[in-house]
Structure 1
Amino acid sequence: MSVKQLFDLSGKTALITGGSRGLGLQMAEALGEMGAKLAITARKAEELAQAKAHLQALGIEVVTFTNDLQKFDAIPGLIDDVLAQLGTIDILVNNAGATWGAKAEDYPDEAWNKVMNLNVSAPFFLSREVARRVMIPRGQGNIIITASVAAFKGTPPGMNTVAYNTSKAAAVHLARTLASEWGPYGIRVNSICPGFFPSKLASGLIDKLGDQLIARAPLRRIGGEEDLKGAVVYLASDASRHMTGQALVLDGGSSLI
């Protein structure tokens, strides 16, 4: 098999949560460009419509599903709808996420629960549903969980995100644990750990601390609109077929120092 064939996703179907904007849309563009048919989900129908029009203008086949992943009992129905339209799910990208800023000693219960529900529980429940209904019976599948470089760090001055950091560390280990259990079924599970990228989730911190973030990164930059694409295609394709349970960091080197 040639290197080009290793990265080719033609004939594959990918489900991407939080795929209507930011990193999710960037990953959707990448997987679609490499030939995958896409199903993207998000809470807001208008943002999904905009993302669908954008992706279709690039020649990418895509269907959309409005869904709130914090409503766990709706997950089976979401998978029903995806399978009804696309027939299968080869690649699952658990990208939807949340954060909340507050000092640890004052952190609201509702904030902790929201972040944990969306960043940890929802990826597990969705992965479990897809694995037992699609990937385990087929003896193959590929799951990617969007974690964060915050999984490996505390919170520096100006960032009070105890639930986010904790949840992303859990996401990394969720990928490792699922990889160890589901590897015998031919299912690979990896996490992708971005540093700071322009997105709605990170925009406030980038606006506030952008110069400091750039100065602390050995590459002297934050992530751009193209910087996640190669990594997600690598993880989603046969190019990484001997890789599972790993966390791929993309942070300009900021976690090194």
Structure 2
Amino acid sequence: MYFDLTGRVAVITGASSGFGVQFARALAGQGADLVIIARRKDKLEAVAEEIRGMGRKCLPVVADVTKTEDIQNAVKATIAEYGKVDILVNNAGIGGEDPAEVMPDEQWYRAVNLNLTAMFTTSREFGKEMIKNKYGRVINVASMYGLVGSYSGAAYHASKGAAVNFTRALGAEWAKYNITVNAICPGFFPTELTEAALNTDEFQNFMKATVPMKRYGKDGELNTALLYLAANESGYTTGTAVVVDGGTTCV
């Protein structure tokens, strides 16, 4: 079976909602045991129970990925539980849509800290364990707006664009350790934060005009990209950005 992850340990940040929960289900469905990281303990516990119900192990870790000490503690908990880490999904992130001329400093710093700096520090701390084992799959969740611009949200675009190039740089740097580093660049997908906006008439018309498939993504349509990049079989793929956007960035 392609993409069999039995025996692998996968760490997912931002795993209490949205893509993080989808990714947890997808990786567990292929046999991986999980470490799920987020700030909301009650939601993490609910996800962990669901994953255990699928027959996989799941360790919930409450942590703020913008705090290096929290990440280091998460690494310690992971190694204490499993003895290794094979897959890291840097999923935690935040938006920020204010026009540049009115964007407060705090919004800029928050986007850069969570979407970029936390991706670096989480990769660094978990990557140390991958380097020891000479094996790893790092998957960074960026955005199609890491590749193109839009009409607002400069902080989000800048941080996601940096995440894409960080992926390229780290992919080149860690190839010698048998660690691949790749990015997924989603287009429009419904989450608990975006679904209401996506279903407005205004946004539906916007998608019909700008998205070749004329719709937003469905639950699960990111999972195949994730599983490919997480698998043993993708060992010769590194430093890439896999775009899943219904064709938005190809026109």
Matches within 5 A, 1:5-24: 6-24=2-20
Asked if the contact 1:43/1:66 (under 8 Å) is kept, the reply is yes
Contact 1:214 1:222 in 2 (8 A): no
- The question of 1:138 aligning with 2:169 is answered no
Does the 8 Å CA contact 1:98/1:201 hold for their aligned counterparts?
A: no
Q: Is the 8 A contact 1:99 1:201 kept in 2?
A: no
Counterpart amino acid of residue 229 in structure 1: N
Indicate the residue corresponding to 2:46 in structure 1.
Answer: 50
- 2:138 maps to amino acid: I
Kindly, what percent of the aligned residue pairs are identical? 39
Q: Secondary structure at the match of 2:117?
A: helix
C-alpha displacement of 1:58: 2.8
Question: Normalized against structure 1, the TM-score is what?
Answer: 0.92
Cα separation, partners in 2 of 1:215 and 1:57, compared to 1, 3 Å: farther
Relative to the length of structure 2, the TM-score reads 0.95
Contact 1:70 1:117 in 2 (8 A): yes
AA paired with 2:232? D
1:81 to 77, 88, 97: 77
Q: Shift in Å at residue 201 of structure 1?
A: 4.2
Structure 2, unaligned runs of 5 or more: none
State the Cα distance separating 1:60 from its structure 2 match.
3.0
Question: What is the alpha-carbon distance in structure 2 between the residues aligned to residue 202 and residue 149 of structure 1?
Answer: 16
Unaligned runs of 5+ in 1: none
1:138, CA displacement in angstroms? 1.2
In structure 2, the CA distance between the partners of 1:122 and 1:174, relative to structure 1 (3 Å rule), is same
2:108 to 102, 107, 112: 112
Q: What is the deviation of 1:167?
A: 0.6
Change (3 A) 1:221 1:66: same
What SS does structure 2 have at the residue aligned with 1:7? Answer: coil
| Greater alpha carbon shift after TM alignment, 56-65 vs 18-27 | 56-65
2:237 paired residue number? 243
1:75-115 per-position Cα deviation (integer Å, ceiling 9, x unaligned) = 21111111111211000000000112211011111111111
4+ residue segments displaced more than 6 Å: none
The offset of 1:24, in angstroms, is 1.1
In the alignment, residue 161 of structure 1 is paired with which amino acid? Answer: G
**Structure 1 residue 214, shift from structure 2 partner:** 4.1
The AA in structure 2 aligned to 1:52 is: A
CA RMSD of aligned residues (A): 1.4
Deviations 1:210-250 (A, max 9, x none): 33224422122211111011110000002211100000000
> What's the CA shift for 1:28?
1.0
Is 1:128 aligned to residue 124 of structure 2?
Answer: yes
Give 1:206 shift: 1.7
